[in-house]
Chains A and B, each alone.
Chain A
């Protein structure tokens, strides 16, 4: 048989009310934790809500975070849209960041453009490879890509950390980090002293491009159809095998891109654990944005705001804990839940009894 449809799962999708409910619930839980967990609730709350807007530094960093989330979120939804799961985003971003840093560090004399392009290409390639093989195994043998992508990523994260703190460590720095990449590779900062840089503009261009590809091209149509109904896609002569492996690879590639920008634009070096959690946040962003490339823009902004707020709250009070994971958890619980909302218009009007 030339093609065989591997078992597929429905792409997780949220409806508008659920999205709102999930965001409100996450907000509520955060506020409750700050109120009851912080020694100074008032200050913590103010830091959470206003912190991201308090100065250029925080505001710029928030937008920078939104840019990275946007790119990775597009990556998550590329897989979701095709009915496959890429749970390995975290590891893909992390290793891609390291690869980008290594490329820049290995070629310090290269012209800016060449160095940057090479770093981006290498990072995207490694992301594509890691996620793509999971798609390939799924296509060949039906291996569950959800589990393999997670496991491969989890296996790689410690090795990346080892390289950063071990052989590649910058001995001069107090941080567990590689050396900083050469000045000319660093992307233009838009709002100094914050980390905001050209990557955000790039991300903002990427979203409409993704929208166009998804909704206005044959391949986008085929990908969406495959995600919604594999059997129908196969029946219609769509090469569903390609749409199992390719979306995974694209997803990994976008995660890789996000990791590269975290180095070239944000941190200028690969730091231990510097992108950990970004992959999971990106899943939340994709779900809030209902896997729609344009809706992912506000979703990334909202999520970046909540994350920046949580960070600010932690910095401004003596209290420190992982608000991020809890926000993610609440959103994940709520976002696809079918909260019973009145849907009266779906009920028929009672008809008169037949004689």
Chain B
């Protein structure tokens, strides 16, 4: 393994002025020919940004890139492609109305007579490449008919047809089933055998240990360590990801172990074996989804969902993204109305499905999409903070300036928001934006609080703060719903866990049978354990 690195990144620095974030801070990285190089780190560590720089999708503020020892300029994806650098994005962008072959040949079209598109050649090319790597895809299928994992494979095919020397994959297995993962890894090995280098962005350390030669750990935009996979262990990598230099508490230690996939160790230290809490009975609030279905076209993205949650518990909902979590989020926040079924609060069906009405009846909601839904980036921080309290902060329709100042200062202090209240929201960092949203959503008395992917982009300290807020809410008697694709987050916080698979509840796990393995089985659809809290059967 002492080849001259084929690709060298030196001092790559990327700064986003919009939210004042330095996503990459003087990053160095060497990639050897024909190696599988894993890039790991927590959300927001700067992995994707670094690869976006390398693939020309965004431009770095500083640093240089050398291929074969020669400095190269990568200003656009076209430049990167010219050097054989191809990236498959985490959410590959595609044109919904296009056919598979159209989407794949975009930018490398072949023409036949009179400069017209040669459709047959394109379709044949796609089919040939697909069968070579054992991928099954219909080149004439419409993109918007494909499942998330198929879209990923289509993007991968497009990348392969560009003859990559370096293939960058961003979380490629996230939407995949177990056999699809196996297929993908086999594909990676055969590419590797042909001399293609591969960079694999992932946060699944098991995958790193399984396929990677080397691993680079990033944290807070910087490289923490690069090492041969053979010379390290998963727990060691996890520790590097979380950070060993800062004081890590008991909770973080357990998180480290959980991340490393070391279920037994974590269980032993109590992370997964929170003492089973007696579900509070006879408390005021219940939230029930009764036979809720949502369709997109003919596809049931939510399929006959039945769940009941009660005041004083945290109901976790997990699953792989694109298995219905985002639609559940929309239904629970009133953003969309179910096509079938009802949402009941305290046993009464909600009158209208609008966020306005849901707010009115006491449901608070922290959305996944903070930039578009959770915040108004061009408004001031203070204006973002008072959104839900605007009615309390007015007299006869006129806003009370003094009270607004006092109120917002108080939230800022309590949640440690760094930023100026009268500055635009877009000046804040991602973590502070989430703090603004959290403090706003928790500022009033709410019966129900829905959290969706609340820890994305938060550093550990803010995450801890949020987790304790969540627990405090529950202990005060609120009903908390936590929608998160992060198994460990759900495991450590939720009293009961519903696992979604393809729009259905694959199973609801009570305290005693919650393990990573069980959840994993449900997530990937290996089990259809159709029980609900009420014990009735829910067939998809």
Contacts and interface: CB of A to CB of B under 8 A. Distances in A.
A228 interface: yes
Contact of A222 (B22, B378, B390): B390
A334 to B, nearest CB: 22
Interface in B400-421: 401
A218 B394 contact: yes
B222 interface: yes
Interface in B318-335: 333, 335
Name the 6 nearest CB pairs between A and B, nearest first: A237-B359, A237-B356, A229-B376, A2-B354, A236-B387, A346-B17
B367 A351 contact: no
Interface in B270-310: none
Contacts of B17: 346-347
Interface string B370-402: 001111111100010011101100100111010
B533 interface: no
Given A217-B397, A225-B379, A238-B356, A232 B22 contact: no
A351 B355 contact: no
Contacts of A221: 383, 386, 390, 399
B195 interface: no
A238 B386 CA distance: 13
19 contacts: A1-B353, A216-B401, A217-B397, A217-B399, A218-B397, A218-B399, A219-B397, A228-B378, A229-B379, A232-B387, A235-B335, A236-B359, A236-B388, A237-B360, A237-B388, A347-B61, A348-B13, A351-B25, A354-B222
Given A218-B399, A221-B399, A354-B223, A235 B26 contact: no
B304 to A, nearest CB: 21
Contacts of B7: none
A81 to B, nearest CB: 12
Contacts of B467: none
Interface string B334-352: 0111000000000000001
B397 A235 contact: no
A128 B473 CA distance: 48
A224 B379 contact: yes
Interface in A207-248: 216-219, 221-222, 224-225, 228-229, 231-239
Contact of B11 (A219, A224, A236, A353): A353
A296 to B, nearest CB: 19
Contacts of A217: 394, 397-399
Indicate the member of A221, A234, A235, A347 with the most B CB atoms within 10 Å.
A235
B265 interface: no
B62 interface: yes
Nearest to B21: A348
Contacts of B25: 351, 354
Q: How large is the interface on B (under 10, 10 to 19, 20 to 34, 35 or more residues)?
A: 35 or more
Contacts of B372: 229, 231-232
A234 B335 CA distance: 8
Nearest to A353: B26
Given A218-B394, A228-B378, A232-B374, 10 more contacts: A2-B352, A218-B390, A218-B399, A225-B383, A229-B375, A229-B376, A234-B354, A237-B355, A347-B15, A348-B22
A235 B336 CA distance: 11
Nearest to B390: A218
Contacts of B153: none
B357 A2 contact: yes
A221 B394 CA distance: 11
B101 interface: no
Contact of B13 (A216, A234, A351): A351
B353 A2 contact: yes
Nearest to A222: B390
A234 B61 CA distance: 37
B292 to A, nearest CB: 15
B269 to A, nearest CB: 32
Contacts of B501: none
Interface in A248-288: none
A167 interface: no
Contact of B373 (A218, A235, A350, A353): A235
B365 interface: yes
Contacts of A346: 17
A216 B398 contact: yes
Contacts of A229: 372, 375-379
Interface string A170-206: 0000000000000000000000000000000000000
A348 B61 contact: yes
A2 B61 CA distance: 46
Interface of A: 1-3, 216-219, 221-222, 224-225, 228-229, 231-239, 346-348, 350-354
A231 B152 CA distance: 28
A235 B333 contact: yes
B59 to A, nearest CB: 13
B387 A225 contact: yes
A277 B360 CA distance: 46
Nearest to B337: A1
A199 to B, nearest CB: 27
Interface string B182-201: 00000000000000000000
Interface in B13-41: 13, 15, 17, 22, 25-26
Contacts of A222: 390
B375 A232 contact: yes
Contacts of A353: 11, 26
Contacts of B376: 225, 228-229, 232-233
Nearest to A236: B387
A85 B335 CA distance: 26
Interface in B422-437: none
Interface in B85-105: none
A1 B337 CA distance: 6
Contacts of A348: 13, 15, 22, 61
Contacts of B360: 237
Contact of A351 (B22, B336, B358, B387): B22
Contacts of B367: 235
Q: Pick the most buried of A3, A232, A353: most chain B CB atoms within 10 A of its CB.
A: A232
Contact of B374 (A1, A235, A237, A347): A235
Contacts of A236: 355, 359, 387-388
A231 B377 CA distance: 12
Contacts of B365: 235
A217 B401 CA distance: 10
Nearest to A219: B397
Contact of A3 (B26, B354, B359): B354
B394 to A, nearest CB: 5
Contacts of B377: 228-229
Contacts of A232: 372-376, 387
Nearest to B351: A2
Contacts of A3: 354, 356
A352 B375 CA distance: 34
B365 to A, nearest CB: 7
A219 B399 CA distance: 9
A229 B386 CA distance: 15
A277 B37 CA distance: 65
Contacts of A347: 15, 17, 61
Nearest to B17: A346
B394 A1 contact: no
Interface in B65-121: none
Contacts of B15: 347-348
A230 to B, nearest CB: 10
A239 B333 CA distance: 15
Nearest to A233: B376
A293 B394 CA distance: 22
Contacts of B222: 354
B373 A231 contact: yes
A233 B378 CA distance: 13
Nearest to A11: B378
Contacts of A238: 356
Contacts of A235: 333, 335, 355, 365, 367, 373-374
